[in-house]
Amino acid sequence: MTNDDIWILGIAMTKFGKYPDLDIVDIAAEATTAALNDGGVTMAQVGVIAAGNLMNANAGIGQQLQKQIGQTGIPVYNVANACATGATALRTVIMAVKAGEADYGLAVGVEKLAGAGLLSGGARKSDGDTWTPRGRFGAVAPVDGRIGTDIMPGVFAQIGMEYGHRYGGTSFELFARISEKNHAHSTLNPFAAYQKAMSLEQIMGDLMIAYPNTRPMCSANCDGAAAAVVVSGSTLKTLSLEQQRRAVKVSASILTTDPWEEACQVLPDINTLTRNAAQQAYEQAGIGPEDLDLVELHDCFATAELVHYDNLMLCETGGAVDFFESGAPFRDGRLPVNVSGGLQSKGHPIAATGIANVWEIAHHLRGEAGPRQIEGAKVGLAHVIGLGSACGVHILEASAA
């Protein structure tokens, strides 16, 4: 290892699910304590914290966490970047460690979402007594449902349908089969919120939310947290051989936003910024998509998983349907995607997701994933996207030590 390399020394996630008796500080503390123990370090050594909790982004979760497990006066960056919040926290401490401002960086993301319904497009206010133009579009009445839709299942449904329009080959059944794959994968993951296989008939026959996304094709709202401890190569060299052996190298850490595109003014473009992030990540890591052993990508909806096969360049441009039909993204396929069960079954406690998917990859690279282990995994990629938009891509490699 070189002194400038970045390594994940310790990483942990809570089981995703329902924690009615715990608050976000308790859940964050559980993941953080486990990550510190995993890395063999204490809060006294940590030099910087980046913490994310999207639903209470102004509450200072980082400082609340310090009060719960250790106040040492170090800088805290509370971050919020939609569904990329966890990846943003990780990237923030990576930048601090890379800059030499801290030896040990701690990133944590936590969310309580169990029981939450639609996370956008709030209840429509009644029309006023007098039509009065308000807001950026001079609207005289609420527009959600009158001029398109604000709900995420509908936005991402259109993104998948647009891919089908451009390249062909998609259908309601195809999108449902992607979901079937991830629900099947989840049965091997004890950390997943839902660990039930679902048949194609069950998935297609479930409650329709926004065609073609039915309820099990949508990410599962749940509670959970994930945390990671990051060090440089120069620090790792001073640690035990066991710590060096279990450390996971961060070969690329990238965050992008969307450059201007004509259509992104009316429908979020999740493609361009993901492709840009992937390109930068492969270049930084000095590898290509053919070198990956597994991928955790942001399947917030079944329709999104399909387009990201293409955006992350796991297939040729326009070839996402063929990639899926080839069996490649199944856990026994050429390039397993979302062996954790993905957001559709593992769950999506928003700010935790971008670190939990790194944990999943790290777990396999360490050879510690038990029954769902992808044998011999050496390189993996973790991807998240938050609308607005922000995209995080991390490429991880197993330690050679």
Partner 1 sequence: MAVPLVDYLVLGDDPHLAAHECTGCGARFFDRRNACASCGANSFESVQIASTGTVRTFTVVAFAAPGVPVLFVAAVVDCDGTSVRANIVNCPPDPEHVHTGMKVRLTTFSIGQDGEGTDAMSFGYEPIDGPSPNDESTNGSGS
141 binds partner 1 (CB under 8 A): yes
Q: From residue 92, how far is each of 49, 73, 98, 99, 302 by CA, in Å?
A: 9, 18, 10, 11, 29
What is the Cα–Cα distance from 62 to 47, expressed in whole angstroms? 13
Of the residues 37, 71, 72, 171, which one makes contact with partner 1 according to CB under 8 A = 171
CB nearer to partner 1: give 170 or 399: 170
Of the residues 59, 72, 165, 316, which one makes contact with partner 1 according to CB under 8 A = 165
Of the residues 73, 266, 332, 371, which one makes contact with partner 1 according to CB under 8 A = 266
Backbone angles phi, psi at 175, to 5 degrees: -60, -40
Strands 294-296, 379-386: pairing kind: parallel
Grouping H, G, I as helix, E, B as strand and the rest as coil, residue 366 is: coil
Nearest to 121 by CA among 142, 96, 90: 142
The strand pairing partners of 294, in sequence order, are: 380
319 binds partner 1 (CB under 8 A): no
Strands 208-210, 224-232: pairing kind: unpaired
Binding string, residues 94-133; x marks residues near partner 1 by CB under 8 A = ------------------------x--xxxxxxxxxxx-x
Instruction: List Cβ neighbours of 86 (8 Å cut-off, separation of 6 or more).
Output: 52, 107, 109, 226, 350, 351, 352, 353, 354, 355, 356, 384, 392
210 binds partner 1 (CB under 8 A): yes
166 binds partner 1 (CB under 8 A): yes
CB of 158 to partner 1, least distance (A): 4
153 binds partner 1 (CB under 8 A): yes
260 binds partner 1 (CB under 8 A): yes
Residues 353-392 that bind partner 1 (CB under 8 A): none
What is the Cα–Cα distance from 229 to 47, expressed in whole angstroms? 10
CB nearer to partner 1: give 258 or 296: 258
159 binds partner 1 (CB under 8 A): yes
Q: Which stretch binds partner 1 (CB under 8 A): 32-40, 57-65, 153-161, 354-362?
A: 153-161
Give the interface with partner 1 as residue ranges (CB under 8 A). Answer: 118, 121-131, 133, 136-151, 153-154, 157-159, 161-162, 164-172, 207-213, 260, 262-263, 265-267
